[in-house]
Structures are given as C-alpha cells and as structure tokens.
Amino acid sequence: MSVTALELLAGVAADLAIGDPRWLPHPIRGFGWLAQRLERVGECLPQRRVAGVVFWMSAVSLAGATVWASMILLPRPGISIYWIFSLLALRDLDLESAVVIGALRKHDLLEARRLLARIVGRDTAALDEEEVLRATIETISENLSDGVIAPLFYLALGGPVAMAIYKAVNTLDSMVGYRDERYREFGWASARIDDVANYVPARLTALLICGCALLLGLDARRALRTTVRDARSQPSPNAGYPEAAFAGALGVQLGGVNFYRGVASRKPYLGDALRPLDFAAYGGSRRLLYGSAALMVLLCAGWIR
C-alpha cells in the first residue's frame, strides 16, 4: 500500500502546520494505552522473555492491522495523508525543544528542567544551563532519526502500514526496552528489534546531516569525520550516528555523564568542544533538523513518484 508523492508532501505539510496538539487524539498515545494493557496480559506468562515476545508480536500486529484495514475501508488520499501526518514528529520535536530553550532565555532554569523532563529520559533536576542545552541538542539529533527519518524511510518502502509498524516498534522500545530488573527479560525482544529497525535509518540520518551541513555552510567535513570516529563508541548501536554528525557539524561536544533514576551513566564524548554549547548551537541544531528532514522528503518523493 504505497503512497504518492503528493500524499507524502501533503502529510508532511500537515505535520508542519499542526504538529501534535494535545487536544487532538493521537494514534501513538492510543497505541501506548493499548500496549500497557497488553503488557499486563503478557506478564501472566511464567517465562519473562517468551512473555515479552508474545507481547511484542501482539502489539505490533494490532498496529499494522489497524492501519491496513483503514487503508482499505477509508477513502484515499485522505487516510494516507492522515497517517503520514500522525506518524511524523518533526514539528512537535521542534516545539517541545523550543519551549525548553525559551525558559532558558528567560533565565528560568527550574522551568527549563521541568520542560526538558518531558522529552528526555535522564534526570533533569540538577542540570545547569549548559547541560540542559546539551540534553536538548542530543534529543533533537536522536529523535530526528527516530521521529522523522526512520518513519519516512519505512513509508517509502512499504507505505503507511510499514510506517505504523516502525512507530509501534519504536514506541515499545521506549516503553519496555530497559535493562533494569523489571524489563531486562520482558523487554529484550522490543529492544533488540528496535535496534535492527533503526540500523539503516540511523546511518542514513548521519549522511543526511552531513549533506545538510554542506548546504547550510556548516562543517560537513567535520560532521563526517566525527561520525566515522565517534559514532560506534556509544552503548547504543544507532544513537551515536546522528549525535556524532550533529556534534561535528556544529563544532560542539556531546555525550558525557547522565543520571537515570539517580544512577550515573557515563557515555563517551562525541565531537570536539570547538564552540560552546549555547543558544547559537541550538539554533544550528534546528537548521540541521529541518534541513535534513527536507532532504529526506525530497529523496522519498523521488523514490515513490
């Protein structure tokens, strides 16, 4: 069930115009609610890893079947545009990060920390201004891959059904893909499959960032060099690629110590601290966000036309 280039462009335009307003019911929030109920059912099985596999298969199958049925029963192009709009997170990613930076500009560090906690998993209560900026830029780079490039990649390959399946995979990883006592076994399948699903998109995102840096007059050569040098140093097999490309293009250093539920997690540094982590670096990250997304939209439109 492929889409046309016009449907793609209309869906992207709707995302840019509307974003993800809280008053509008969103399929990802609905999927999260459903997954929580399925998790309770899955936990009834005695073998935790098997339970996690059954949970994953049930949730992803329901997500794919829902979108597939809607594509058959509801008229085109409206339903295609709706799913593209709903499953992209470009505008919402920008808006959520912008409010954090807005609080910093007003010298309201407490509010910036509170707002940041809505979009990152790390502890934010003790972060200073530079660390808030680092966390914001890191989440923009990583979610550029997860929330924009990867969904468009799967849309181009398999239409809205493939796009929805990817989003379900990514959502389940964010819900249960942890290594703590509760989810180490139950979330094993969700975490590993998300790693596989993001393998190509993460590397494609890094290449798009390098291309965008070249077009925007940023340091494309350093972005590529930093990606090659640093991306594989991260614990995640994928997250380091867009983050390293961002760090190189902006001339900043990302990575370092984060705290999760009070426990320190030290990640290798990405890039070189040639420039400070300041509002100018954040502005550059926004340019990379929209520029890389635009390049991906053009690639997808050319592929599916």
pLDDT digits (tens, 9 = 90+) for 161-193: 999 999 999 999 988 877 776 778 888 999 999
Structure tokens at 42: 């899955």
Range of the domain at 192: 5-304
Helix (H, G, I), strand (E, B) or coil at 276: coil
pLDDT of residue 83: 97
pLDDT at 305 over 80: no
Which spans in 74-89 are helix H? 78-87
User: What's the structural domain count of the chain?
Assistant: 1
Provide the pLDDT confidence category of residue 138 given band limits of 50, 70 and 90.
very high
pLDDT of residue 25: 77
pLDDT at 182: 76
Do residues 5 and 304 touch, judged by C-beta distance below 8 A? yes
pLDDT in tens, 256-274: 999 888 888 899 999 999 9
- Cα–Cα nearest to 67, from 155, 126, 189: 155
Band of the pLDDT at 86, cuts 50, 70, 90? very high
Give the C-alpha separation, 181 to 225, whole Å: 38
For residue 55, which of 194, 197, 172, 180 has the smallest C-alpha distance? 172
pLDDT over 70 for what percent of the chain?
98
43, pLDDT greater than 80: no
